[in-house]
């Protein structure tokens, strides 16, 4: 059987099994609960749009109406617009997430003769990432938000689609406004990459072949001894020095037409969002008082805990390597401990929702650890430091500054301006990094899959069996991510 044929057979079989098992869980979720937390706002909004009433908008909904418009278009006159089918849109969306995860991984590992089964198992694991998988069974924005980001990214990777990058960039933002930072990250990555590889010293083989005229500055003056796949901050500095000396005349002189198309589309998405900000006056749509942008640096540290839990197989796989890395950087470890201590001491913010809403795991984590013990925010610092080194250890051999610099800037804007600690906020930043980890062994991939299955079993068991009753709510409440 041909490799490509084998890949598609495996993918179709995996999607079929995934859908069959998930449908059983999906039906159980619908039998168990009619309303899951914020569905109280999203479901009536979705029904309103299905009925053609686009003038109604629930002020408690903070995101753009991408989810509700998509639901109305997909259900239309063909399916009943009720809780079951509105949720079902996300279940179908999660199947497409699996397909695009596989496509992206196949693209990333294409040159390594990677096992087709290993690629699809990783795609399945990412689809089963517990917080993401849970919200694929309810009517929230997360599943479709990620789906459109994945499609957008896939077109960007291949430099394809003269207008599809623009379309899916806009659609991803329509699902969740904070996706604009990831569009900006791709834009920054593209510009930095062009800046470096258009310099005559740090050009790469792609530009030094027949794609460039032999009469060009780059083709004639390239230093082949410094060709590299991954760039460092020193490469950025060297490229800037070169381009300053030429007044940036060569910086964009040899950009392929495909890159120009991508840049124009990315810039269009960003400019559209600037217009939205100007008109709306804020990044959120409704409930603006509860979502005021505030500097909250500990969110970046909480993201490290997210990585420690859901990236556990990768933490363990490089545990010894990470410890050695820490021992070689004792001074940096000490400086990080001091910086993190200052951050948690002066900038720890506790949103009222975090203390009041006992339907989320963050409520129990905060009240049974951070709030219960005065020393807890400081006692967690060693874990932050270790996980930061672990994350770096999983990224350092396969990433360059043209990705890491825009990513660091964008994760700050995506997380560190949020007062409320929500596990869902960490999903996209983690998925982006996970797709860029050093190629894992099959054992690590298998461990990741089993680890996610185990967490999902526990969390769905808690959802199905643990009841929470609120005085001002008739419906039984459940614990979710």
pLDDT tens digits along 322-351:
999 999 999 999 999 999 999 999 999 998
pLDDT of the residue at 458: 98
- pLDDT value, residue 14: 97
Confidence of residue 280 (pLDDT cuts 50, 70, 90): confident
Residue 290's pLDDT is what? 64
One-character DSSP codes across 374-436: TTHHHHTHHHHHHHHHHHHHHHTTT--HHHHHHHHHHHHHHHTT--S--GGGGHHHHHHHHTT
DSSP character string of 221-268: H--GGG--SS--HHHHHHHHHHHHHTTTTTTTTT--HHHHHHHHHHHH
In this predicted structure, the answer to whether residue 131 has a pLDDT above a threshold of 90 is yes
- Could you tell me how far CA 25 lies from the centroid of its own chain? 24
Q: What confidence tens digit (pLDDT) does each residue in 69-81 have?
A: 999 999 987 899 9
244-269 pLDDT, tens digit each: 887 777 666 667 777 888 899 999 99
Mean of the pLDDT values across residues 302-316?
98
pLDDT-wise least confident of 22-36, 142-156, 270-284:
270-284
Taking the CA of residue 312 as centre, how many other CA atoms within 13 Å lie in the half-sphere pointing to its CB? 12
Share of the chain above pLDDT 70, in %: 90
The residue ranking higher by pLDDT, 361 or 232, is 361
Does the structure show a pLDDT above 50 at 207? no
pLDDT of residue 228: 62
User: Residues 420-435: pLDDT tens digits?
Assistant: 999 999 999 999 999 9
pLDDT for residue 221 is more than 70: no
Lowest mean pLDDT among 73-87, 135-149, 445-459: 73-87
């Amino acid at each position: 059987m041909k490799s490509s044929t084998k890949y598609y057979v495996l993918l179709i079989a995996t999607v079929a099994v995934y859908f069959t098992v998930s449908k059983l869980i999906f039906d159980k979720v619908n039998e168990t609960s009619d309303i899951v937390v914020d569905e109280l706002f999203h479901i009536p909004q979705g029904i309103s749009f299905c009925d053609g009433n686009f003038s109604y908008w629930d002020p408690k909904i903070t995101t753009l109406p991408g989810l509700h418009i998509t639901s109305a278009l997909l259900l239309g006159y063909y399916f009943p617009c009720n809780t079951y089918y509105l949720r079902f849109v996300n279940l179908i969306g999660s199947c497409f997430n699996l397909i695009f995860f596989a496509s992206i991984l196949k693209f990333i590992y294409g040159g390594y003769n990677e096992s087709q089964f290993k690629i699809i198992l990783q795609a399945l694991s990412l689809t089963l990432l517990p917080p993401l998988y849970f919200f694929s069974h309810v009517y929230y924005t997360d599943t479709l938000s990620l789906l459109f980001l994945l499609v957008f990214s896939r077109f960007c990777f291949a430099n394809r689609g003269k207008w599809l990058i623009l379309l899916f960039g806009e659609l991803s933002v329509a699902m969740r406004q904070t996706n604009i930072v990831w569009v900006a990250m791709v834009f920054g990555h593209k510009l930095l990459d062009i800046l470096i590889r258009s310099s005559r010293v740090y050009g790469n083989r792609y530009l030094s072949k027949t794609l460039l005229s032999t009469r060009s500055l780059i083709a004639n003056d390239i230093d082949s001894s410094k060709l590299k796949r991954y760039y460092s901050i020193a490469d950025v500095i060297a490229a800037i020095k070169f381009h300053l000396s030429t007044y940036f005349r060569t910086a964009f002189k040899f950009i392929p037409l495909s890159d120009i198309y991508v840049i124009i589309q990315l810039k269009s998405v960003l400019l559209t969002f600037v217009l939205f900000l100007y008109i709306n006056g804020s990044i959120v749509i409704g409930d603006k008082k509860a979502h005021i942008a505030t500097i909250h640096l500990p969110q970046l540290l909480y993201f490290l805990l997210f990585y420690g839990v859901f990236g556990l197989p990768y933490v363990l796989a490089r545990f010894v390597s990470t410890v050695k890395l820490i021992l070689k950087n004792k001074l940096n470890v000490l400086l990080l401990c001091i910086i993190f201590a200052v951050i948690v001491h002066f900038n720890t913010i506790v949103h009222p929702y975090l203390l009041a809403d006992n339907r989320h795991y963050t409520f129990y984590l905060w009240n049974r650890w951070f709030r219960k013990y005065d020393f807890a925010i400081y006692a967690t610092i060693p874990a932050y430091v270790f996980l930061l080194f672990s994350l770096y250890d999983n990224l350092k051999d396969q990433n360059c500054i043209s990705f890491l610099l825009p990513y660091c800037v964008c994760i700050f804007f995506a997380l560190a301006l949020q007062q409320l600690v929500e596990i869902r906020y960490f999903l996209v930043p983690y998925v982006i990094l996970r797709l860029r980890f050093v190629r894992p062994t099959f054992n690590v991939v298998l461990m990741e899959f089993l680890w996610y299955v185990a967490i999902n079993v526990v969390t769905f068991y808690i959802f199905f069996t643990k009841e929470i009753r609120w005085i001002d709510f008739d419906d039984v409440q459940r614990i979710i991510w």
